[in-house]
Amino acid sequence: MENRYSRQTLFRPIGNAGQQSLAESHAVIIGCGALGSSISETLVRAGIGKVTLADRDYVEASNLQRQQLFTETDARNSLPKVVAAERRLRDIREDVDIRTVLDHVDGPLLAEIAKTADILLDATDNFETRLLINDVAWSLDIPWIYGAVVGSSGSVFPFIPGKTACFRCLLPVLPSVNETCDTVGVIAPAVQISAAHQSAEALKWLTGNRSAMRTKLLHFDVWNNTSVEAGISRLQDPNCETCGNHPTYPALHQSSGTQFAVLCGRDTVQIIPDEGRELSLSDGVQVAKRLKMEYRETPFFVEFQAEGYRCILFGNGRLLIHGLKDMRMGRKMYHSLFG
């Protein structure tokens, strides 16, 4: 489309050369909720060549207040977020190359999808996944842009291997993980501010404006009108398992066997079967029929009730048990349902 990026190329730090670099770039966005939907739309509109979207969840009504790519129809259909996002982004720009990953992102998976990336963008809601992004970024020598939002506040920083301390070095001084969007809420302006800063850092990197990158961690509170920047270079630990003298990248090591976890800030147990156990949508249908419960089948998952809990079985065997926050009970239910 002629002159599509004319206002962006008029911006001298980008220009035609920067626009061409952007068109040849690949960004991986981990998480496709509030931050992920805003960042992906910004980068697609800006002319990025390729985007990979990774997310394990589906659209719900409670997402619509701040997750700008999604509609009421998406929520009614419980459409996977990466699927709904891809459809909307292709409406915005037909020529963008989009890859979607509907799955729980672990070490081997992220390392695989990130190996051709120019930058990683954090749009997650938990420290565990950020530690994983951090280890992948350092192991592949790729920058990643940290972003976190809760309530009316947010934090942003670009982590660059060989230039900055890493996320693991910062863990002792980062805010408590006890507050999440699911426990204290979040307002859309805080999301948009964080996403805007993350997108700006990505544009700087991808268009060759590396010297303009942020060098201090930004923390803001849009409701209380506060903003502070903090240097982190002195926090770099030479013994760090990620960026130290002898890195081991501990987050990349995948545990064997079936994995059980309570999702951060949510009354939901997630179960990922081991590689030797194959579960399909038809297995979910059979369970629902055995329990004599109504079920809903989509191209992506089967939804049914079991022991008073809402269960979602995805096509790759991943199971979500909503309303449950006891991992031991989740383990018991899983074995009761699928043996």
The residues that are catalytic are: 181
- For residue 268, count CB atoms less than 10 angstroms from its CB and return exposed for 0-12, middle for 13-18, buried for 19 or more: buried
- Under DSSP, the state recorded for 166 is -
- For residue 12, count CB atoms less than 10 angstroms from its CB and return exposed for 0-12, middle for 13-18, buried for 19 or more: exposed
- Under DSSP, the state recorded for 25 is -
DSSP 46-102: HT-SEEEEEE--B--GGGTTT-TT--HHHHHTT-BHHHHHHHHHHHH-TT-EEEEEE
Per DSSP, helices labelled H in 99-248 are: 107-114, 127-140, 167-170, 181-184, 188-206
Query: Using an 8 Å Cβ cutoff, are 322 and 267 in contact?
Result: yes
